[in-house]
Amino acid sequence: MRAPDFWHRDDFAARLATAVLAPLGTLYGATVRWKAAHAKPYRARVPVVCVGNISAGGTGKTPIAIAIADAIIVHGKNPFFLTRGYGGRLAGPVVVSKTHTAEDVGDEPLLLARKAPTVVARDRREGAILAIERGADVIVMDDGHQNFALHKDLSLVVVDGEHGFGNGHVLPAGPLREPALQGLARADAVIVTGDGNPALPAFDKPVLRAHVAPAATAEWKGMKVVAFAGIGRPEKLFRSLRELGVELVETVTFADHHPYTSRELSELKARAKDVRLVTTEKDYVRIAPADRDGIAFLPVTASIDPHDGLDRLLDSLNGPR
């Protein structure tokens, strides 16, 4: 799904659309509140760190989850990622292998599995059990702030610094999965990505800052490219390329998690006949290997500040269970 423009506008048409859809948003938020109040989460034998969000897509959650796994590894632990596998056909629980494709498990698990073992499971309880059987001593739950099947020992909410909570309304009236106040009340810390200082209603716990940036820089300067992306906020790729000194000949956007066809990719390659064709790593893993020739991706990494702030949060996992 591509995010509607009115989620981030404040003109008459946007306010009208929001007003019409607001009752549905109220109902949606109430269902999350009801689930949270009546849940009986399974407590795993190892700590569970949830890296989630309150807004739908585009916060940079996956590279931050990878950075957190890096920090856990430095602490001498063996983390496993646990994710639903959005867009994949497998319900799981299954450990992601090199033979899996985005069609099997979704795009994000393929990225996560490059850093640490990754379990895809729509039933998070069953996924946690499998991860522990395979040797996990910490589980990093990628997404799941609104999933209450599994007890979380540390809940981290990722918030986009530039867009914050959009128009402040719940789906479909706005980008929120639940009211911000409601979601933040269950968070142990907030990680703000990028620039900006979004309002965090009634939140008085740790706030960390994350920077998601290209892993490679100099080689891109002066390059002419056609860029395409099917992520929550495609403009992030385009802006990153411009900041690297890339000349964007054309930009093409698709819906988040878009499954690319050979025909679409052939058309993109034709449009980039004399320049380079570039996308995100998340898009790249959704492209069939046979169609990847002539397509490059811009790798990104996340760093979290203050680093000792993240260490203190992770140290809290060492207490009695």
Binding site members:
55-62
One DSSP character per residue, 103-145 reads: HHH-HHHHHHTTTS-EEE-SSHHHHHHHHHHTT-SEEEEES-T
Q: 74 φ, ψ to 5°?
A: -60, -30
Secondary structure in 3-state letters for 157-205: EEEECCCCCCCCCECCCCCECCCHHHHHCCCCEEEEECCCCCCCCCCCC
Paired with 224 in beta bridges are: 247
Report d(CA 291, CA 294) in Å as an integer: 8
Contact 148, 124 (CB under 8 A): no
Best CA proximity match to 47, nearest among 120, 151, 148, 183: 151
**Amino acid of residue 285:** V
Q: 97 φ, ψ to 5°?
A: -120, 175
Q: 220 φ, ψ to 5°?
A: -90, -20
- Annotated binding site for ATP, which residues? 55-62
Q: Which helix (H) or strand (E) holds 37?
A: helix 12-38
**Amino acid of residue 109:** P
**Amino acid of residue 269:** K
